[in-house]
Amino acid sequence: GDSVTQMEGPVTLSEEAFLTINCTYTATGYPSLFWYVQYPGEGLQLLLKATKADDKGSNKGFEATYRKETTSFHLEKGSVQVSDSAVYFCALTTFGNEKLTFGTGTRLTIIP
Amino acid sequence: EAEVAQSPRYKITEKSQAVAFWCDPISGHATLYWYRQILGQGPELLVQFQDESVVDDSQLPKDRFSAERLKGVDSTLKIQPAELGDSAMYLCASSAWVNTEAFFGQGTRLTVV
């Protein structure tokens, strides 16, 4: 079946540090890949997505590139802010099966 | 901005009692999902509706859980009887059609005591 493996957390960084959260996947079909973010007390929000190999999704300074050869979709940001503190989930869907399969989430805390 | 509405936000119930959650998707969204998120884990799909029809309930514990989406609009998820292990966040999401972005509600946090 489909699965997503995420970098274990929690992750604590200083403001303006570089962020990488690793994500790898296995999928029975050709997946679309997503990063969702969950701020404290809120629901999940789509952060970015990529639907085919070598696509780069980007939003709010975050980026992730769909790497089919390494089955990865790592999340990066060049300079994090305190407001980026949240839980980040990597997820996938496959064509014909649009349910989201999530990783376990990575809690990110940014300290001033 | 259109949102997925869920209620209640928080629910505490005693084990063996019945509990129900309600979800109102974004207007016009044909697909509705219920996910369960256990603390420290990612959400897992319980049931997926396309309009009023169930298209995937393979992970729904049908001995105690039920879900309906009458008229293909809002939806109710019920647990009867609740067990301690049901304590979790229950998330509702909707999307306009297949392979389109899913929008999530704020969730209902259930605590079974």
Higher pLDDT residue, A38 or B70? Answer: A38
Element (H, E) at A26: strand A23-26
Chain A residues 56-85 with a CB less than 8 Å from chain B: none
B1 lies within 8 A of chain A by CB: no
User: Band of the pLDDT at A13, cuts 50, 70, 90?
Assistant: very high
Residue B2 confidence class, pLDDT cut points 50, 70, 90: confident
Q: Is the pLDDT of residue A76 over 70?
A: yes
B101 — pLDDT class (breaks 50, 70, 90): confident
Q: For residue B44, give the H/E element and its range.
A: strand B44-50
Ramachandran bin of A41, using left for φ above 0, alpha for ψ from -120 to 50, beta for the remaining angles: left
Closest residue to A42, CB basis, from B44, B45, B106: B106
* B94: contact with A, CB 8 A cutoff: no
Q: Which of A23, A35, A46, A100 to mutate to test the interface with B (most CBs of B within 10 A)?
A: A100
Rounded (5°) CA angle B37-B62-A31: 50
The residue whose two tokens read 């604590």 is A12
Cβ contacts of B93 on chain A, cutoff 8 Å: 44, 100
Residue in B with minimal Cα distance to A106: B40
**Inter-chain CB proximity B101 and A46 less than 8 Å:** yes
Flag whether pLDDT at A86 surpasses 90.
yes
pLDDT band at A54 (very low <50, low <70, confident <90, very high): very high
Q: Side-chain half-sphere of B54: how many Cα atoms within 13 Å? A: 16
Tens of pLDDT, residues B76-100: 999 999 999 999 999 999 998 766 7
Query: Chain-wide mean pLDDT for chain B?
Result: 93
How far apart (Å, rounded) are the C-alpha atoms in residues A111 and A19? Answer: 13
Residue A98: which of B99, B105, B107 has the nearest Cβ? B99
Burial class (CB in 10 A: 0-12, 13-18, 19+), A50: buried
| B25 lies within 8 A of chain A by CB | no
Weakest mean pLDDT among A10-19, A99-108, B66-75, B99-108: B99-108
Interchain contact, B42 vs A102, CB within 8 Å: yes
Average pLDDT over residues A15-30: 95
